[in-house]
Chains A and B, each alone.
Chain A
Amino acid sequence: MPAASGLAGHARSHNLLELRGIEKRYGTVLANAGIDLDVPPGSVVGLLGENGSGKSTLMKILFGVVPADRGGIVFRQQELSGHTPAEAIAAGIGMVHQHFMLFDGMSVAENVLLGLGGRGRLRLADAAMAIRRTSETYGLDLDPAAIVGDLPLGSRQRVEIVKALMRDVQLLILDEPTSNLAPPEVARLLAICSRLRDEGRSIIFISHKLGEVLEICGHIVVLRDGRVVARCDGSASRAELARLMVGRDPPPPLARAAHAAGKPLLALRGIELSMSDTASSGSICFEVREGEILAIAGVDGNGQHELGRSIAGLQRPRAGSIRLGNEDVTRWSVGARVAAGLAYVPADRATTSLVPRLSVAENLMLRDCTRPPFGQHGVLWPSALRRVARAAMAAYAIRARSGSMPAGQLSGGNQQKIVLAREIGRQPRVLVVLQPTWGLDPETTGFVMAQILRLRDAGAAILYISSELDEVLALGDRIGVMAGGRLVDIMERAHANSDRLGLMMGSSAHGSAA
């Protein structure tokens, strides 16, 4: 592997940031086992690794969120140790977390102003002007008066970037920045990154998406089990990086049984979604048949959540009807739809599909506590619950000490496995699933997709909604695109490719509008 020239062995003064022998232990787990990392000025350093490889811990230590057990940090020739995030910010380090740290009810300008902290008296109007200026310089396309909660995720991320830029950061940490962006928005983010780099700022780009890492990063550091397993430059091959990251060859592509789809199990007729903003929702019509996956691509925030919620019964559509099998369920309650065989995996694990403080086992019965095997007539059966939990943990390889452990203590991948175990374990006729691989590492992503394919082969009808083109193309028997609250088109698998879908997604997407 080509050793990147700027990374090791150079004089100290050349690097913007140097991490030396960072070590951090959580209980019995060594999250960081002596990590060295150098970031030269004006560079984009990719930090690659699966979930649990120690990326987040390392960045938390750098940003002063948790202290390191051992090791040193030198930033701009200054030793940083025992620092707080406020001190890291003051020193010129900015971080954009995967889950944005924004106040949804406030405007862009107010959020930026709050982020500036105690730097004298800055008036809102001045902030707005500065935001507009910065936004134009870097092509961020932000309206200072817009309310953050109304913005699509891509724009919110740019609010975070503006926050950092207004503090004149020299080092910007981007944690999984593309995990919820559509292809056009990813391209835009990468353009912003190269612009910052050309100005002499540096970026640590955390990701497990190899394509974009190779595209933007001059240096790449691969972590596995808390150690640096490789340092390479942008000329490394994708396959090589993938192998380094997981420590073995990637799984073979998913096998799918070829079979004709049966009768329609889920049918939407003339559905008009109630959207949070005033944007028009077109009339949506489609069917999903037995043994078929209808995959829907689209930039996040174009009505996918509203579509999922409407089918699940969590919100009423403005018009139209929803049929499940032979029955019109448009006015049915959530529970009645679950009982009728409708499973639903929403995108939001943190507050909807999982209750972090309840145990793994309790999360497994979240939507089924009124039915055997979990209970009946309002009485719960704890021993049955323990049994089901043990079986599900084995079948879905959920890594937890026991079923009574709080689900929030598990990694994102294991949490999503709980949700899938519950929704698929019920053997539903119809599964509606949104962004099920968000924030998961490649291995877990593969596992999730395999489970969904297996359910399809067992004869269920599946609606798979995602902004990940690769997944949509890999899974869909038919593939549709949502933009602006409408279903733009549905095509056969054979006719779909990423260019065509990307074009349709970008055409009338909210994500590109400010």
Chain B
Amino acid sequence: MTARLVVAVMELPAFRAVLALLLAMLCTGILVALAGASPVAALQAVMAGAFGSIDRIAYGLNRAAIYILGGTGVVLCFRAGIINIGGEGQIALGGLCAGWAVLRHPGAGPMLSVTSGLLGGMLGGLAWAVLAAIIHVVRRVNEVVVTLLMNFIAGLLVEVALHGPLGEVGAGFLQSPPLPSASRLPLLVEGTDLHAGILAAIAVALLAQLLLRRSGPGFALRVLGESHRAAAYAGFSRIRLTIGLMALAGALAGLAGAVEVLGVQQRVVDGFSRGFGFNAIAVALLAALEPWATIPAGLFFAFLETGTRTMQRRIGIPASLVVVTQALTMLFVLAAMAGAGRKGARSARPAIAG
């Protein structure tokens, strides 16, 4: 009886997640100790960095918004079997276009300024993703290759723009002039940096969940992800779905870029979004490719990042160890979830074998 209860508890996803976190903390602690620092101090630093003050929490939530938006687009693409790893470039171009759209109308009011910035960002990301989709569909170049390589081009495009038309004259750093304050995203809590992006991100993730489960196109993309032949048989056009999905994912990534520029940076800075796109892929995988689950996964990843960054600053361990810590935590959590999935599949499958 007790044994059964123990087994039942161990199968709980929450229990597995907590166990994964504890194991990750243990491993991190060992690594930190090996690096000559105190594991306890390291943990305190992580917690302080993630949740230590209103400002830290605001910072984490703002970052989570980016990951949820980008991750949701990735989830939708991956579910359709389209391996879009171009989030990095789509976010960068989204941010660039948002900045450009805002700077074009310097005297605009908040409504127009924010709207044009967000729209500009979405269109920028969308255009970049659709271009990749067209190359993939028409020229039959593998989408991984196209989207990956276009990331580099996007990064260079941002540089070119900041060197030229969008650059701030006389700045020591590659960046645009500051955006007019009208373009700033509305704040959720006055006196902090917490902007409305997180709410938009949560709404987007939930809408994507609805799209996937309760809409014809969502059903079509799930079928496409399972089998191209079945999709053709069902009458779904692979080309139309691919382009449509890439457009959506690109728009969401572009929105993420715009949110970062309008909500946090207030200017376009070279490399402002470095790593965002790839982290969004990690978030999508951590969410087990369920749109709603990008919300906890994005929050988790964002706070993990802000916490470990502080750990690095405070106790002076090498920067590479921070990345190792993040990766370890991801690995443990993914392993715990993969184990749960396999277990479920094993016990369910043979039940009706005949």
Indicate whether A and B interact. Answer: yes
Q: Which residues of B contact A366 (CB under 8 A)?
A: 223, 230, 233-234
Contact of A52 among B216, B227, B233, B354 (CB under 8 A): B354
**Cβ of A375 under 8 Å from chain B:** yes
B: number of interface residues (CB 8 Å) = 26
**Cβ of B347 under 8 Å from chain A:** yes
Q: Which residues of B contact A28 (CB under 8 A)?
A: 351
Q: Are A379 and B214 in contact (CB under 8 A)?
A: yes
Q: Which 4 A-B pairs have the closest CB atoms?
A: A52-B354, A335-B235, A26-B350, A334-B235
Q: Are B353 and A382 in contact (CB under 8 A)?
A: no
Q: Which residues of B contact A338 (CB under 8 A)?
A: 235
**Cβ of A348 under 8 Å from chain B:** yes
**Cβ of B222 under 8 Å from chain A:** yes
Can you give 18 A-B contacts (C-beta < 8 A)? A26-B350, A26-B353, A31-B350, A31-B353, A31-B354, A334-B232, A334-B234, A353-B233, A356-B226, A357-B226, A358-B223, A358-B226, A366-B223, A366-B230, A401-B351, A409-B348, A410-B352, A414-B352
Question: What residue in chain A is nearest B214 (Cβ atoms)?
Answer: A380
Contact of B350 among A29, A370, A375, A400 (CB under 8 A): A29
**Cβ of A333 under 8 Å from chain B:** yes
Question: What residue in chain A is nearest B219 (Cβ atoms)?
Answer: A369
Q: Are A382 and B214 in contact (CB under 8 A)?
A: yes
Q: Are A27 and B351 in contact (CB under 8 A)?
A: yes
Q: Which residues of B contact A356 (CB under 8 A)?
A: 226
**Cβ of A57 under 8 Å from chain B:** yes
**Cβ of A355 under 8 Å from chain B:** yes
Contact of B230 among A53, A312, A353, A400 (CB under 8 A): A353
Q: Are A354 and B230 in contact (CB under 8 A)?
A: yes
**Cβ of A346 under 8 Å from chain B:** yes
Known contacts A369-B219, A378-B215; is A27 also within 8 Å of B350 by CB? yes
Q: Are B235 and A367 in contact (CB under 8 A)?
A: yes
**Cβ of B322 under 8 Å from chain A:** no
Question: What residue in chain A is nearest B354 (Cβ atoms)?
Answer: A52
**Cβ of B140 under 8 Å from chain A:** no
Residues of chain B touching chain A, judged by Cβ–Cβ distance below 8 Å, are: 213-220, 222-223, 226-227, 229-230, 232-235, 347-354
* Chain A window 187-208, contacts with chain B (Cβ cutoff 8 Å), 1 for yes, 0 for no: 0000000000000000000000
**Cβ of A5 under 8 Å from chain B:** no
**Cβ of A390 under 8 Å from chain B:** no
Cα A369 to Cα B235 in complex, Å, equals 10
Cα A312 to Cα B215 in complex, Å, equals 25
Q: Which residues of A contact B349 (CB under 8 A)?
A: 409
Q: Are A409 and B352 in contact (CB under 8 A)?
A: yes
* Chain A window 346-365, contacts with chain B (Cβ cutoff 8 Å), 1 for yes, 0 for no: 10100111111110001001
Cα A405 to Cα B223 in complex, Å, equals 16
Q: Are B226 and A333 in contact (CB under 8 A)?
A: no
Q: Which residues of A contact B227 (CB under 8 A)?
A: 351-352, 355
Q: Are A401 and B235 in contact (CB under 8 A)?
A: no
Q: Determine how close the nearest CB of chain A comes to the CB of B228; give it in whole angstroms.
A: 9
Known contacts A27-B351, A379-B214; is A362 also within 8 Å of B219 by CB? yes
Q: Which residues of A contact B347 (CB under 8 A)?
A: 27
Q: Which residues of B contact A354 (CB under 8 A)?
A: 230
Beyond the given A27-B347, A352-B229, please list 9 additional residue pairs across the A-B interface where CB-CB is below 8 A.
Answer: A26-B350, A27-B350, A312-B233, A344-B233, A351-B227, A355-B226, A355-B230, A367-B233, A378-B217
Q: Which residues of B contact A52 (CB under 8 A)?
A: 353-354
Q: Which residues of A contact B234 (CB under 8 A)?
A: 334, 366-367, 369
**Cβ of A146 under 8 Å from chain B:** no
Q: Which residues of A contact B215 (CB under 8 A)?
A: 378-380
Q: Are A399 and B352 in contact (CB under 8 A)?
A: yes
